[in-house]
Amino acid sequence: MNSTTYPVHGAGLGLRRSIMDPLADPFPSQVDFMEIAPENWIGVGGSYGRKLREFTERYPFVTHGLSLSLGSPAPLDEAFLQRLKRFLKQHNIRIYTEHLSYCSDDGHLYDLMPIPFTEEAVHYVAGRIRRVQDILEQPIAVENVSYYAAPGRQMEEIDFINAVLEEADCRLLLDVNNIYVNSVNHRYDAEQFLRALPAGRISYIHVAGHYNEAEDLIVDTHGAPVIDPVWDLLKKTYQHFGVIPTMLERDFNLPPIEELLDEVDTISALQQQAQPQQAWHEQAN
């Protein structure tokens, strides 16, 4: 797959208010794009609103939503989608992404709940994704999520994800850490799962840290450094799919900016290592 099919390129970092000043002067050369949660910024004015505008005017941005609740039984919040549409245009956002989960039903649940892996849920969620894409007038990407139980499961997780992507005709935000977390918690082969995903639908990748609750239970927190097995799975992702834009997620327990940039450097190094192999493979074919 040619890199021009992706909305951004290289290595990215999530923008948080606490790191805006350290990032501003000078902006780190190793960060190729940034990601924000639109719910945290829509309608924000004052100094933070101006700072965000300065960033989005200069650098490529993607967005990762928190509250659309694609699997919810409650109606889609179309008023929010209209505000979101204006925000995406205002800041020249390259792509909007959301979780393949739900987080509300007549009120927010403050957690990402798994959608039942059933054919009925495939049709329901795919229809809602198509409606979102119609309103926004652009494709969106949905993220494979971590989950700790699978109520009502009638099909495998990988089959559910692929069916939703196909029926909704949408993109995939590939979270490598979530694959690793789920592979431990639900005892499946992470590489086999990875290889079954549709290469042509991937927009970019998330990589993050997590918390080991027990030997056979990992909690997806985005509050710790990325561990070696996840870096290894990212490397294998590049080997299988080619180099894909990849963003470091860190939502809390934020370390000094230098430590975040060290992890961004690791992403860049893995991408550079994979490029010669990708070029050789493309020439051979």
Task: Answer yes or no: is pLDDT of 234 > 50.
Answer: yes
Per residue in 56-78, pLDDT (tens digit) is 999 999 999 988 989 888 899 99
pLDDT for the residue numbered 112: 56
Residue-range domain boundaries for the chain:
3-284
Q: Residue 225 — φ and ψ, nearest 5°?
A: -65, 155
Band of residue 90 on the pLDDT scale cut at 50, 70, 90: very high
pLDDT tens digit sequence for 10-47:
999 999 999 999 998 899 999 999 999 999 999 999 99
Do the beta carbons of residue 11 and residue 59 sit within 8 Å? Answer: no
Lowest mean pLDDT among 165-174, 186-195, 199-208, 216-225: 216-225
pTM (predicted TM-score): 0.90
Element (H, E) at 213: strand 211-214
pLDDT given for residue 220 in this prediction: 56
Q: Which of 137, 57, 131, 140 is nearest to 98 (CA)?
A: 140
Which of 18-22, 94-98, 144-148 has the largest mean confidence?
94-98
Q: What's the full length of the chain, in residues?
A: 285
Q: Is 70 exceeded by the pLDDT of residue 103? A: no
Lowest mean pLDDT among 19-23, 158-162, 184-188, 197-201: 184-188
Quote the pLDDT of residue 111. Answer: 47
For domain 3-284, the CATH superfamily is: Divalent-metal-dependent TIM barrel enzymes (3.20.20.150)
Q: What is the pLDDT of residue 166?
A: 98
- On whether the CB atoms of residues 139 and 173 are closer than 8 A, the answer is no
Check pLDDT > 90 for residue 223. Answer: no
Most confident stretch, 148-152, 175-179, 224-228: 175-179
Compute the 3-state secondary structure of the chain and give helix, strand, coil in percent, each to the nearest 5. Answer: 45, 20, 35
- Helical H segments across 35-185, by residue range: 46-58, 78-90, 119-136, 157-168, 176-185
Q: Who has greater pLDDT, 2 or 38?
A: 38
Low-confidence winner among 36-45, 98-107, 193-202 (lowest mean pLDDT): 98-107
Lowest average pLDDT, out of 101-115, 159-173, 190-204, goes to: 101-115
pLDDT at 107 over 60: no
With bands split at pLDDT 50, 70 and 90, how would you rate the model's confidence at 224?
A: confident
CA 247 centroid distance within chain = 8
> Side chain identity at 237, as an amino acid letter?
T
